[in-house]
């Protein structure tokens, strides 16, 4: 029976192969037979060697990892629209890989018996099945036929599941060919290259590539004045084009570019100049595939106009982070680079969101990152904590302006959620009317926190005062910072409360110097590294640095370094604290990468003796720093 949901499913399927080959009627019919399966993160869909299910799967939302359990390597990660678990059904054999929900996912389970008749009646669908079958028989685990089995990936996939296979992976080329005819004028084709944001354009005659024009050609031939700006493509182009088959591997592509000293390769159907051009491969594409290096990633982020593309880049960032940690690169440097990249992602999301607005925003604003993100300590995906401050407007315009910014912030937070930032459970987000305010409103807010420092106010200050301007008008932020310091100077009591708040975190060790673990809740018997070890340091650094009226430094380790500089008599302790912060942060990040979570809760039984000793060594520094705060701000005077 056709119904609202089956229409919804059909509407999704029609975008992906092989379903895009079916008639809408057939799709709707098929859709009524489908099951929708929900899998929470890390739930197993099937195990290696399980008997095949009655259906194969297409991912509607989320991502699924396919892996060999034996050596625990992830062979592939399937995304939205990818199909998996099909081959065993046709080959009548057990599953060769384990499928697990890499993120929370919604899958459509398609019964093979319902699907088969379409394959027999529709040649294209049949070919798809044969393709995926054949490719897998030859080499079941290679990625070389990924295109056939999972649908051609649209964006440049940065994720390299296994480095060993890497060289033999096929290149991902841009299929959206930017081309012109031999008669196109230089200025016209240059405009086209600019609007498509590409570095090369293909010259086609009867669909066959006869030449290529790159930025370099334009520079050497037009800008130098050799040829007029109205010259036709035929005169500018480099010819003949060097062509390769689209089955080129990354290594081959690299070799080809080095050999001919060119930056672009043209891919044709059979690899010769006499067949249809199917794509163009730039040095940039190869670099993307080869290296997750920061410059390339930043470039990729800045080019991304769709949230989905940014999500792909973030996978690359995680790979980079993993690599850095393995190579023992200094934590300060890692933090800097990774948070730069994360900031770039957020910036790009905001830029894109602004571009997608129908009417421009009425006044200037600043997007603030709060908490760990504001301190540049957010290396893994964690919650989004943010706020928005906009320029003051006349009183009668305030409500209207605020409504516009809230609506804008909602779009941004939603997109951030898509690329992996969880919503803040306490709603500390710019989309919340409480945290989307004009500059004057923020000042009033801040003043009330400083002058009446109750428990909530201190907590708010500790989250908010680590803000960092991610995007927008820096002047607004500077003005707010100045306001904070002036107010705080007149209310020294505030520092006392902030200091007291910084001592409220539970102790990491008990009386017998044993680790204290959580007593109840979902993380029972785990060690909470954030609350028990990192937060005491962060909180102490904040109150100390704010009491010196310094706002420009947010990163905790750097705050301690600055404090060491300001107070030479305590330099040794502050340097130790700086070191401890970095060590703990690294620890947390490594744990997080290992378990694909925030790394906050650590299972002590899984730590080595050496790791435990390392952890405990930092605890002594924590205790000393806390004592210093206690005495300096005379916390004993405060009734606790």
Partner 1 sequence: MINFFKKSKLDLPDYWLKYENLFKTKQPENIQDITFVVLDTETTGFSYQEDRMLCIGALKLKNNDINIGDSFEVFIHQDHYNQETAEIHGILKEGKTTRLEELETLKLFLDYLENAVIVAHHAGFDITFINIALERHGLPKLKNKILDTSTLYKKTLIRSNLLVKKEHYSLDELAEKFNISVKDRHTALGDAYITAIAFLKILVKLKEKKITTLKQLLRIY
106/517 with CB nearer partner 1 = 106
Closest CA to 131 of 18, 246, 20, 26: 18
Closest CA to 581 of 551, 608, 549, 545: 545
Of 230-269, which residues contact partner 1 (CB under 8 A)? none
φ, ψ at 496 (rounded to 5°) = -60, -45
Q: Which strands make up the sheet holding 208-214, listed edge to edge?
A: 179-180, 200-205, 208-214
3-state DSSP of 283-322: HHHHHHHHCCCHHHHHHHHHHCCCHHHHHHHHHHHHHHHH
Considering only 152, 427, 486, 565, the residue that binds partner 1 (CB under 8 A) is 427
Considering only 16, 159, 166, 423, the residue that binds partner 1 (CB under 8 A) is 423
The window from 1-9, 140-148, 306-314, 484-492 that contacts partner 1 (CB under 8 A) reads 1-9
The window from 4-12, 190-198, 313-321, 591-599 that contacts partner 1 (CB under 8 A) reads 4-12
303/455 with CB nearer partner 1 = 455
Give me the torsion for CA of 348, 353, 354, 356, rounded to 10°: 130
State the minimum distance, in angstroms, from the CB of residue 619 to partner 1. 27
36/229 with CB nearer partner 1 = 36
Contacts of 450 (CB under 8 A, 6+ apart): 457, 461, 484, 487, 488, 491, 494
Q: How far apart are CA 416 and CA 400, in angstroms?
A: 25
Of 432-491, which residues contact partner 1 (CB under 8 A)? 455-456, 459-460
Considering only 9, 186, 266, 304, the residue that binds partner 1 (CB under 8 A) is 9
Of 86-125, which residues contact partner 1 (CB under 8 A)? 104, 106, 109
123/455 with CB nearer partner 1 = 455
State the minimum distance, in angstroms, from the CB of residue 526 to partner 1. 13
Whether the upstream peptide bond of residue 18 has omega within 30° of 0, thus cis, is: yes
Does the CA dihedral 586-587-589-590 come out positive or negative? positive
Whether 317 and 419 have beta carbons less than 8 Å apart is answered as no
398/459 with CB nearer partner 1 = 459
Q: Is 287 in the site for partner 1 (CB under 8 A)?
A: no
State the minimum distance, in angstroms, from the CB of residue 82 to partner 1. 19
State the minimum distance, in angstroms, from the CB of residue 50 to partner 1. 16
Q: Is 16 in the site for partner 1 (CB under 8 A)?
A: no
State the minimum distance, in angstroms, from the CB of residue 370 to partner 1. 12
Considering only 418, 594, 631, 638, the residue that binds partner 1 (CB under 8 A) is 418
35/121 with CB nearer partner 1 = 35
The window from 92-100, 168-176, 425-433, 598-606 that contacts partner 1 (CB under 8 A) reads 425-433
Q: How far apart are CA 552 and CA 222, in angstroms?
A: 47
In angstroms, the Cα distances linking 116 to 30, 36, 119, 123, 128 are 11, 19, 5, 12, 12
Q: Is 8 in the site for partner 1 (CB under 8 A)?
A: yes
5/333 with CB nearer partner 1 = 5
Whether 73 and 128 have beta carbons less than 8 Å apart is answered as no
Considering only 355, 522, 610, 639, the residue that binds partner 1 (CB under 8 A) is 522
The window from 269-277, 423-431, 436-444, 525-533 that contacts partner 1 (CB under 8 A) reads 423-431
DSSP notation for 462-494: HHHTT-EEEEE-HHHHHHHHHHHHHHHHH-THH
105/538 with CB nearer partner 1 = 105
Whether 501 and 458 have beta carbons less than 8 Å apart is answered as yes
Task: Give the CA radius of gyration of the chain.
Answer: 29
Considering only 5, 23, 329, 613, the residue that binds partner 1 (CB under 8 A) is 5
Considering only 417, 440, 447, 487, the residue that binds partner 1 (CB under 8 A) is 417
Q: Is 597 in the site for partner 1 (CB under 8 A)?
A: no
1/610 with CB nearer partner 1 = 1
- What number of chain residues touch partner 1 (CB under 8 A)? 37
Considering only 225, 394, 425, 568, the residue that binds partner 1 (CB under 8 A) is 425
Q: Is 3 in the site for partner 1 (CB under 8 A)?
A: yes
40/205 with CB nearer partner 1 = 40
239/417 with CB nearer partner 1 = 417
Of 61-90, which residues contact partner 1 (CB under 8 A)? 61
State the minimum distance, in angstroms, from the CB of residue 159 to partner 1. 21
φ, ψ at 111 (rounded to 5°) = -65, 130
State the minimum distance, in angstroms, from the CB of residue 40 to partner 1. 5
Q: How far apart are CA 83 and CA 106, in angstroms?
A: 13
Query: Pattern of binders to partner 1 over 26-45, x per CB under 8 A?
Result: -----xxxxxxxxxx-----
Q: How far apart are CA 633 and CA 313, in angstroms?
A: 45
State the minimum distance, in angstroms, from the CB of residue 485 to partner 1. 24
Eight-state DSSP code of residue 25: H
Contacts 24+ apart (CB under 8 A), 391-397: 391/363, 391/364, 391/365, 391/438, 391/439, 391/473, 391/476, 392/438, 392/439, 392/440, 393/362, 393/363, 393/438, 397/362
State the minimum distance, in angstroms, from the CB of residue 273 to partner 1. 46
157/385 with CB nearer partner 1 = 385
State the minimum distance, in angstroms, from the CB of residue 32 to partner 1. 5
Whether the upstream peptide bond of residue 611 has omega within 30° of 0, thus cis, is: no
**Residue ranges of the alpha helices (H) in 526-570?**
529, 535-547, 556-566
Q: How far apart are CA 4 and CA 495, in angstroms?
A: 59
Of 387-416, which residues contact partner 1 (CB under 8 A)? 410, 414
State the minimum distance, in angstroms, from the CB of residue 308 to partner 1. 13
62/147 with CB nearer partner 1 = 62
φ, ψ at 266 (rounded to 5°) = -100, 130
State the minimum distance, in angstroms, from the CB of residue 320 to partner 1. 26
Q: Which residues bind partner 1 (CB under 8 A)?
A: 1, 3-9, 31-40, 61, 104, 106, 109, 410, 414, 417-418, 423, 425-428, 455-456, 459-460, 521-522
């Amino acid at each position: 029976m056709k119904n609202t949901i089956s229409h919804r499913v059909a509407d999704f399927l029609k975008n992906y192969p092989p379903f895009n080959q079916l008639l809408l009627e057939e799709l709707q019919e098929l859709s009524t037979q489908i099951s929708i399966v929900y899998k929470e993160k890390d739930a197993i869909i099937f195990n290696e060697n399980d008997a095949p299910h009655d259906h194969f799967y297409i991912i509607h939302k989320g991502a699924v990892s396919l892996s060999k359990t034996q050596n625990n390597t992830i062979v592939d990660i399937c995304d939205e629209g990818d199909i998996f678990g099909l081959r065993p059904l046709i080959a009548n054999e057990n599953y060769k890989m384990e499928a697990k929900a890499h993120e929370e996912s919604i899958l459509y389970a398609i019964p093979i018996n319902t699907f088969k008749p379409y394959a027999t009646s529709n040649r294209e669908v049949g070919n798809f099945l044969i393709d995926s079958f054949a490719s897998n028989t030859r080499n079941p685990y290679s990625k070389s036929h990924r295109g056939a089995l999972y649908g051609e990936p649209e964006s440049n996939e940065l994720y390299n599941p296994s480095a060993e296979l890497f060289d033999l992976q096929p290149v991902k080329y841009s299929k959206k060919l930017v081309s012109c005819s031999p008669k196109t004028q230089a200025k016209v084709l240059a405009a086209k290259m600019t609007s498509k944001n590409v570095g090369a354009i293909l010259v086609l005659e009867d669909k066959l590539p006869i030449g290529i024009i790159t930025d370099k050609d334009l520079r050497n031939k037009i800008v130098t004045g050799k040829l007029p700006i109205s010259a036709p493509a035929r005169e500018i182009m480099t010819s003949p084009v060097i062509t390769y088959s689209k089955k080129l591997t990354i290594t081959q592509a690299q070799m080809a570019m080095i050999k001919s000293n060119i930056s672009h390769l043209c891919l044709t159907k059979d690899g010769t100049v006499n067949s249809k051009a199917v794509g163009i491969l730039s040095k940039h594409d190869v670099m993307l595939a080869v290296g997750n290096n920061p410059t390339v990633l930043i470039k990729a982020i800045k080019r991304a106009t769709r949230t989905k593309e940014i999500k792909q880049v973030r996978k690359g960032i995680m790979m980079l982070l993993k690599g850095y940690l393995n190579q023992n690169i200094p934590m300060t440097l890692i933090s800097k680079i990774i948070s730069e990249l994360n900031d770039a992602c957020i910036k790009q999301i905001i830029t894109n969101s602004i571009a997608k607005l129908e009417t421009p925003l009425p006044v200037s604003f600043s997007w603030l990152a709060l908490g760990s993100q504001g301190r540049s300590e957010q290396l893994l995906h964690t919650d989004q904590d943010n706020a928005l401050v906009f320029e003051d407007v006349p009183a009668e315009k305030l409500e209207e302006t605020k409504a516009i910014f809230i609506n804008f912030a909602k779009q941004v937070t939603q997109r951030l959620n898509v690329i992996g930032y969880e919503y803040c459970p306490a709603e500390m987000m710019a989309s919340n009317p409480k945290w989307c305010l004009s500059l004057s409103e923020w000042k009033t807010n801040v003043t009330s926190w400083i002058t009446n420092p109750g428990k909530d106010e201190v907590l708010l200050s500790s989250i908010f005062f680590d803000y960092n301007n991610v995007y927008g008008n820096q002047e607004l932020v500077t003005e707010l910072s100045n306001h904070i310091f002036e107010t705080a100077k007149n209310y020294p009591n505030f520092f006392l409360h902030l200091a007291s708040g910084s001592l409220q975190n539970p102790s990491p060790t008990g009386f017998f110097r044993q680790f204290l673990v959580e007593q109840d809740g979902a993380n029972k018997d785990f060690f909470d590294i954030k609350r028990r070890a990192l937060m005491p340091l962060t909180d102490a650094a904040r109150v100390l640095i704010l009491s010196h009226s310094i706002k420009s430094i947010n990163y905790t380790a750097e705050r301690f370094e600055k404090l060491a500089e300001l107070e030479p008599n305590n330099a040794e302790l502050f340097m130790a604290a700086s070191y401890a912060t970095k060590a703990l942060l690294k620890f947390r990040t490594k744990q997080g990468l290992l378990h694909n979570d925030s790394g906050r809760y650590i299972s002590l039984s899984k730590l080595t003796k050496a790791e435990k000793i390392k952890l405990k060594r930092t605890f002594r520094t924590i205790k000393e720093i806390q004592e210093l705060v206690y005495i300096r701000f005379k916390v004993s005077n405060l009734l606790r």
